[in-house]
Amino acid sequence: MAAAGPGPAPTGSRLRLLLLLPLLLPPPPPVCAAGKAGRAAGSCGCGSPRRAEEPAAYRYSREANAAGPDGADGPSGPAQLQMAPIPAGVFTMGTDDPQIQQDGEGPARRVNMHAFYMDLYEVSNAEFEKFVNSTGYVTEAEKFGDSFVFESMLSEQVKTGIHQAVAAAPWWLPVKGANWRHPEGPDSTILNRPDHPVLHVSWNDAVAYCTWAGKRLPTEAEWEYSCRGGLENRLFPWGNKLQPKGQHYANIWQGEFPVSNTGEDGYKGTAPVTAFPPNGYGLYNIVGNAWEWTSDWWAVNHSTHESQDPAGPSSGSDRVKKGGSYMCHKSYCYRYRCAARSQNTPDSSASNLGFRCAADRLPESG
């Protein structure tokens, strides 16, 4: 779940809800109660800290045993630029059985959707690097000089220089020099993971990339419609069972959060953007791996009336993010469901926060 406040920063909205405590001892185990009541508390879990989670399986993927798209050039090549056509239709957004009450997961409501396009993959390090090299763009984490990193991903050398942690989620540490090029702090690199999702991108950074690419961020409704992949009223993009026939379909936390991640799904951090089977619309890692920004402002009260292409409220302080991440575990952050949602300030960044783009029409190739 989202941490209680944003990270430290010299300026900007990241100061608004800052809640850090001195880091005098190793981070304690979480005190949240397990189950729905504990998850509803909203004070701990795997969400990014703020600045300022059989037939159905077959329909979900006809390539359930494939490592990536057939004939793909790899995520840093043309495959990463591909978009899936999402057909027009009507679907049930949200749920009448919310697992995290304060997140506004319900009520279930009927939504009419236009046809649009969605990136097959989360934007990778390699693709984001093309954007930076082309434009000279500097991310907000780079401007602020820090970003949040999950404690177990840091080297001992980096941890020795950190003396504060997020009060409600002490496994989140503010790390100087952490940014998209250095996801786990200044002594880390992305050179060996060009095909992993770019991290430490704020909402503002994501919008800048999408604009450069001739695309945009998806609305929350577009994201959730795409996540469901043509299935109706299912928990996950592939159905209601987390591991159909014992197979992993998403990169989430296995073990006891935040103490031990067994990496049973093959990854303890992020996975390549082409990993795991795609959903019914051909989208990879639409849940798990990295949280994904949407264009909507955050709100928790929704009309039950049928709507057409909803775009969220006209203003707000936080933006909606969807899909959960590699840090999500059912006991603390059951947000890798299609109906699940969370929020962050637009300038927030963390080591589990990324994005993918949408478009009304395919952008012209440059």
CATH number of residue 130's parent domain:
3.90.1580.10
Is pLDDT at 129 greater than 60 in this prediction? Answer: yes
And the tokens for 57? 């399986």
Work out the number of other CB atoms within 10 angstroms of the CB of residue 157: 10
Tell me if 58 is assigned to some domain. no
State the DSSP H helix or E strand holding residue 221, giving kind and residue range, or none if neither: helix 220-228
Mean per-residue pLDDT, 49-64 = 43
- Label residue 22 by pLDDT band (50, 70, 90): low
Tell me if 16 is assigned to some domain. no
Tell me if 29 is assigned to some domain. no
The amino acid sitting at 199 is: L
The amino acid sitting at 363 is: P
And the tokens for 286? 């639409």
User: What is the average pLDDT value for the chain, to the nearest integer?
Assistant: 84
Tell me if 64 is assigned to some domain. no
What total number of domains does the chain contain? 1
Mean per-residue pLDDT, 332-350 = 97
Tell me if 100 is assigned to some domain. yes
In this structure, the chain runs to a length of: 366
Query: How does pLDDT run across 245-266, given as a tens digit for each residue?
Result: 999 999 999 999 999 999 999 9
- Label residue 49 by pLDDT band (50, 70, 90): confident
Tell me if 181 is assigned to some domain. yes
Query: What is the per-residue pLDDT for 20?
Result: 54
Q: Is 146 helix (H, G, I), strand (E, B) or coil?
A: strand
Rg (CA), the chain: 19
Is pLDDT at 75 greater than 90 in this prediction? Answer: no
Domain that holds residue 199: 87-359
Tell me if 15 is assigned to some domain. no
Are the beta carbons of 51 and 144 closer than 8 angstroms? yes
Query: What is the per-residue pLDDT for 167?
Result: 86
Is pLDDT at 15 greater than 70 in this prediction? Answer: no
Tell me if 55 is assigned to some domain. no
Query: How does pLDDT run across 81-109, given as a tens digit for each residue?
Result: 599 999 999 999 999 999 999 999 999 99
Mean per-residue pLDDT, 170-179 = 96
Mean per-residue pLDDT, 334-363 = 97
Query: What is the per-residue pLDDT for 31?
Result: 34
Query: What is the per-residue pLDDT for 10?
Result: 27
What phi, psi does 206 have (nearest 5°)?
-65, -40
Share of the chain above pLDDT 90, in %: 75
Query: How does pLDDT run across 292-325, given as a tens digit for each residue?
Result: 999 999 999 999 999 999 999 999 999 999 999 9
Query: What is the per-residue pLDDT for 364?
Result: 82
- Transcribe 62-95 into DSSP letters: TTTT-SS-TT---TTTGGGG-EEEEPPEEEEES-
Mean per-residue pLDDT, 220-246 = 97
